[in-house]
Amino acid sequence: MWWQYLLVFAGSFLFDVVPIPFPPAFTIMIFLQVTYGLNTWLVIIIGVTGSIIGRYILTLYIPLLAGRIFKKAKNEDVQFLGEKMKEKGWKSQVAILAYTLLPLPTTPLFLASGMAKINARYIIPTFFVGKFTSDALTVHLGKYVSENAKGIMAGGFSWKSIISLILGLLFISSILFVEWRSLIQKNKFVLNFRIWNRAKKKTTHVG
């Protein structure tokens, strides 16, 4: 039976180590828990551990990846956003906690923190509290409302998951294409779609 819990860890890790907004890791946790009749609390503990390790590794390699595919100006812009987040202190922690309690992909949060080179220790503790709380509630609810694996898969990829995926993509787009220095310092909303290396800069000013 140990290998089934290993699947929980591996699935949660893989869902949260990639830099694109996959469905929340609790979908694979619920699927495996119902399919194999696993202990719910062990699934939650092992799954959340896998998610945290995946997110931590994401923050480690994203700066290297971002340095290769995005222009220096875009990386500096996101780093500026990260510095502003840290200046907010406890307010940022509350915002992070609130975000992780929602059924939304946390990829944008870790993508931004990784590109901004924010120390993972600033994000992980709050992420753990929110992640453990939300996943515990979701997995327990999934155990009672789902009768079989097929139902879990249908619920895991329902319209709610599709909406959360779309919102995740929108959040990532805002991180990448909004010029945050202009917005924060000059109160000017500027979209820059020429953020990739070897591309000419082209901006669109709004307002």
pLDDT at res. 49: 96
- The region of weakest confidence among 23-32, 110-119, 171-180, 187-196 is 171-180
Between residues 32 and 196, the one the model is more confident about:
32
Tens digit of each residue's pLDDT (9 = 90 or more) over 117-143? 788 888 889 989 988 998 888 788 767
- The region of weakest confidence among 45-54, 63-72, 145-154 is 145-154
Number of domains observed in the structure of the chain: 1
> Is pLDDT above 70 for 204?
no
Residue 127 forms part of a structural domain = yes
Residue 192 forms part of a structural domain = no
Residue 112 forms part of a structural domain = yes
Residue 195 forms part of a structural domain = no
Residue 104 forms part of a structural domain = yes
Residue 202 forms part of a structural domain = no
Task: Determine the structural domain holding residue 80 and report its residue range.
Answer: 2-177
Q: Which residues contact 12 (CB under 8 A, 6 or more apart)?
A: 25, 28, 29, 46, 47, 48, 49, 50, 51, 54
Report the pLDDT averaged over residues 36-63: 92
Residue 163 forms part of a structural domain = yes
Residues β-bridged to residue 189 = 206
pLDDT at res. 12: 95
Sign of the CA dihedral running 62, 111, 17, 47: positive
